[in-house]
Amino acid sequence: MESGDLRIFQAVAREGSITKAAQMLNYVQSNVTTRIQYLEAQLKTPLFRRSNRGMTLTPAGENLLGYADKILTLMDEAVKSTQYSDHAAGPLRIGSIETTAAIHLTPLLAEYQSRYPDVNLSLITGVTHALLQKVLDYELDGAFVYGPIDYPDIEHVAAFEEELVLISEPGKSDMHELLSKPMLFFDVGCTHRAKAESLLRGTGLTTYQIMEFGTLAVILDGVSAGLGVSMLPRSSIAKAEEKGIIASHRLPEEYRDLQVWFVHRHDSIYSSALTRLIQLVEAKQ
DNA sequence: CCCGTTCTAGCTGTCACCCT
DNA sequence: AGGGTGACAGCTAGAACGGG
């Protein structure tokens, strides 16, 4: 089994099609078919279920894909570690929670990109648990997420500190009345949600309604329209508050602090691009 | 018919081996 | 050391086949 076979296997698994994988890899389709058959013969087990609509992984294929991802990532990192030994260059895949991406991260990344223009930076946004999973799966080099996090494979650098506030439609201030309204959050993995539930229990509210939304903008619109309240970092709602479409309310001290960490796998071979980003985050502390 | 896989023949580059 | 030769891996092109 060679790395080339694993790359082809990974491409077919990802695309779910030999034809699409061949196009992606700039091979002819029959070559991809042959390499997959060769791999299956070598391993003495089918890796895919074939249908006229594409290819789906067998349990053995699922298992191999996990190893292929790790092996190929390590190989890429090994190449990076030699090619970009001192000069920060090459790809750097970063994730960030949406509330942090807009306010804190944009200036940081702008400074990073101006210092290291040869780094091909890509950024995706998501919620903490989803970003963490992508880091664990080697799909991201690192991510800005809410801490604290306790994973054996993850290392972190404290990046930013936020103040969590309760937001509501303007003109409302009675905390008990506000907390009895529905809470608008990102999805299940949203870190603020656990704090909110703790706060609600602390104020004696045992029943509460949670609504899930996909983006910050929709949550702000919902709160502004009086649909409910939410808990978000102050920095992420500052502009909306300035416009007067929402009002913010300070939370009790034990619920206020919010830490943003930059996390990465501890077994990553640090590329120069990743090292420079970690250094920049540390310098901002 | 379309879209996907599979099969086959043939081409090309690489490598080991042998000869001069 | 340098060149010729054969085996082999990897690839392409084209045709056949199959299911919705």
pLDDT band at A200 (very low <50, low <70, confident <90, very high): confident
Please write the tens of the pLDDT for every residue from A56-87.
777 777 888 888 787 777 767 666 655 545 66
pLDDT value at residue A261: 92
A31 touches strand C (CB under 7 A): yes
Q: CA dihedral in degrees (A186, A187, A191, A193; nearest 10)?
A: 80
A42 touches strand C (CB under 7 A): no
A3 touches strand C (CB under 7 A): no
A52 touches strand C (CB under 7 A): yes
Provide, rounded to the nearest whole percent, the portion of chain A with pLDDT above 70: 83
A56 touches strand B (CB under 7 A): no
Q: Tell me which of 1.10.10.10, 3.30.830.10, 3.40.50.300, 3.40.640.10 is the CATH number of domain A3-83.
A: 1.10.10.10
A35 touches strand C (CB under 7 A): yes
pTM for this structure? 0.60
- Strand C bases with any atom < 7 A from protein Cβ: 10-15, 18-20
Name the nucleotide nearest A17; use CA and C1'. B4
Integer Cα distance of A206 and A223 in angstroms: 22
Q: What is the average per-residue pLDDT within A178-187?
A: 81
User: How many C-alpha atoms does A62 have within 13 Å on its Cβ side?
Assistant: 4
Total Cβ atoms within 10 A of residue A282: 12
Angle subtended by helix axes A29-43 and A3-15, to nearest 10: 110
Residue nearest C10 (alpha carbon to C1'): A31
* Measured CA A52 to C1' B3 distance, in angstroms: 8
A232 touches strand B (CB under 7 A): no
- Going from N- to C-terminal start, the domains of chain A cover 3-83, 88-285
Name the nucleotide nearest A37; use CA and C1'. B6
- Strand B bases with any atom < 7 A from protein Cβ: 3-9
Please write the tens of the pLDDT for every residue from A101-131.
667 788 899 999 999 888 888 888 888 888 8
Asked whether the beta carbons of A46 and A53 are under 8 A apart, the reply is no
Residues recorded for chain A: 285
In terms of pLDDT, which residue wins out, A159 or A269?
A159
Name the nucleotide nearest A52; use CA and C1'. B4
What class is the A88-285 domain?
Answer: alpha beta
- A31-63 burial by CB neighbour count: b if 16+ within 10 A, else e? ebbebbeebbeeeeeebbeeeeeebebeeebee
* Measured CA A66 to C1' B1 distance, in angstroms: 38
Nearest to A144 by CA among A234, A266, A261: A261
What tokens were used for A278? 């970690």
Name the nucleotide nearest A20; use CA and C1'. B4
Asked whether the beta carbons of A95 and A135 are under 8 A apart, the reply is yes
